[in-house]
Amino acid sequence: MASRQYPATALTNLSEEEQLFYSTVLQFADETIGPLVRSMDEDQAYAPGLVKRLFELGLMGIEIPEEFGGAGGTFFDSVLAIEAISTVDPAVAVLVDVHNTLVINALRRWGTEMQQSHWLPKLATSTAGAYALSEAGSGSDAFALQTRAEADGDNYRINGRKLWISNAREAGLFIVFATLDPAAGYRGVTAFLVETGTQGLTVGRKEDKMGIRASSTCELLFDNCVVSRENMLGEAGKGYKIAIETLNEGRIGIGAQLVGLAQGAWNQAARYAKQRKQFGKTIAEFQAVQFAIASMATRIEAARLLVYNAARLRDTGQPFVKEAAMAKLFASEVAESVASESVEIFGGNGFVRDYPAEKFYRDAKIGKIYEGTSNMQLATIAKQVLGSWNDVHCANLRNRLR
């Protein structure tokens, strides 16, 4: 199938095991998700049974240790899975991405032994997770939270409202960020594990989105939602640390989603160019189309290597904040431009829903917005590179003065 095309240059960066894993996930995406893409987009919901199939294939517990029923894989494996699924449907990849790179990683790093032994087996086999940070007044200003958590004996009572929460309809577990003391600013932010069905928690309306429409993005309402102290994730007042460190990793996952999206749009455009005839020959024989396809492929490969580099750094315990921001920033730009050019290669057919180009175009736009806008990525990169330059400059200056 067309969507199984994969640039040979990228394959040289993968081990045999990683290549096999990618190919397996890609085949599943082609054969199982592919036929459902249009109907899920129109219905604004995942097809019945699809989430269960993701669990059965092991895609919802990639990094969970085998002792807890997971695959015992790496962060890079999660990145490969997200990319492969996104070549077919970025909306399904959102579910896999948030679940693996945000929820599971946060629980593995900061969860107590009891929390991990209780939740990780469920997250590996049957229970989807969601990450509830954003609010109406706290988008890029992530810690301007109004949701409150007040101590009540051995419990906390959570009150407030969350917006734009991915996986909200599918989730059985939410990581919820609330403030214990608004006057303390980010130092009051604390994370809690809140199970779906907890009294006082209501999943509200689903957003009617431009793209990734099958993915549920909903508001959460908390009305005296009682959560045990044992459900606090990490320490009181340390929720900001959990959020920052987890989102740094999540940006790599979003970068992978956008690389996969761009690859999927390119696959469709390249195939169409070889089939569509004008003036007695396929449009792929025209140099202008050849150059467009070549330029698209080059940008996709550059974005892919940025994402892979950031993921490898993360897996080997090296600093990766700058690289993650670069990967997310550049991949979002590439996804939007490649999806747009794909529509143009399809011509009039690219503007109608009978062909896949317009959906990739709609799906691409969110890439510059969620998990850190492009301006926030630029701010992070600038801080990192200028800080590094200043450190080197000061060291050189000190050496000259000696």
167-187 pLDDT, tens digit per residue, is: 999 999 999 999 999 889 889
Q: Each residue of 262-282: pLDDT tens digit?
A: 999 999 999 999 999 999 999
CATH number at residue 158: 2.40.110.10
Would you say residue 96 lies in a domain? yes
Catalytic positions: 371
Query: Is 26 a member of any domain?
Result: yes
The better pLDDT of the pair 41, 138 is held by 41
d(CA 157, CA 199): 11
Q: What pLDDT shows up at residue 398?
A: 56
308 and 348 share one domain: yes
* Claim to verify: residue 285 and residue 334 sit in the same structural domain: yes
Over the range 167-181, which residues count as b (16 or more CB within 10 Å of their CB) and which as e? bbbbbbbbbbbbbbe
Residue 398, in any domain of the structure: no
Q: What is the structure's pLDDT at 109?
A: 97
**What integer pLDDT is reported at residue 387 of this predicted model?**
86
Of 282, 287, 281, nearest in space to 272 by CA:
282
Three-class secondary structure assignment of 8-70: HHHHCCCCHHHHHHHHHHHHHHHHHHHHHHHHHHHHCCCCCCHHHHHHHCCCCCCCCCHHHCC
Is the pLDDT reported for residue 395 higher than 80? Answer: no
Does the pLDDT of residue 3 top 50, yes or no?
no
| Amino acid identity for residue 149 in this structure | A
In this structure, are 169 and 273 located in the same domain?
no
Per-residue pLDDT at 2 exceeds 50: no
Contact 347, 286 (CB under 8 A): no
The answer to whether residues 233 and 262 belong to one domain is no
Q: Write b or e for each residue in 351-371: b if 16 or more Cβ atoms lie within 10 A of its Cβ, otherwise e.
A: eeeebbbbbbbbbbbbbbebb
The CATH number of the domain holding residue 360 is 1.20.140.10
Domain end call among 237, 265, 295 = 237
Residues 255-260, mean pLDDT to the nearest whole number: 98
CATH number of the CATH domain containing 43:
1.10.540.10
Same domain? 223 vs 266: no
H runs (alpha helix) in 29-171: 37-43, 50-56, 75-86, 90-97, 105-110, 113-125
Q: Cα separation of 65 and 17, whole Å? A: 18
316 and 363 in a single domain? The answer is yes
Would residue 399 count as lying in a domain? no
Domain for residue 401, yes or no?
no
Query: Would the pLDDT of 318 be above 60?
Result: yes
56 with 167, same domain: the answer is no
The last residue of a domain, from among 237, 271, 290: 237
Number of domains in the chain: 3
Query: Among 44-58, 137-151, 383-397, where is mean pLDDT lowest?
Result: 383-397
pLDDT over 90 at 7, yes or no: no
**369 shares a domain with 268:** yes
Q: For 227, which DSSP code?
A: E
Give the contacts of 56 (CB within 8 A, at least 6 positions apart): none
- pLDDT tens digits for range 367-390: 999 989 999 999 999 999 998 655
- Give the separation between CA 228 and CA 163, rounded to whole angstroms: 23
Cβ burial of 200 (10 Å; 0-12, 13-18, 19+) is: middle
Whether 284 is covered by a domain: the verdict is yes
Residue ranges making up the domain that contains 48: 2-127
Sign of CA dihedral 347, 353, 357, 363: positive
Burial of 296 (0-12, 13-18, 19+ CB in 10 A): buried
Asked whether residue 44 falls in the same domain as residue 85, the answer is: yes
Residue with tokens 């960066």: 13
Look at residues 79, 96, 127 and tell me which one is the last residue of a structural domain: 127
Pair (59, 147) in one structural domain: no
Instruction: Tell me which residue has tokens 């004996």.
Output: 153
CA distances from 233 to 40, 113, 223, 224 (A): 34, 11, 20, 19
pLDDT at 11: 56
- Does residue 117 sit in the same domain as residue 134? no
pLDDT score, position 240: 93
Compute φ and ψ for 200, nearest 5 degrees: 100, -10
In a domain, 319, yes or no: yes
Where does 252-399 show beta strands of DSSP type E?
277-278, 281-282
Euclidean distance between CA atoms 134 and 161, whole angstroms: 9
* Statement to judge: residues 233 and 252 lie in one domain: no
For residue 237, the number of C-alpha atoms closer than 13 Å in the C-beta half-sphere is 7
Token representation of residue 122: 């469920």
Q: Quick count: other Cβ atoms within 10 Å of Cβ 91?
A: 26
| Domain presence at residue 81 | yes
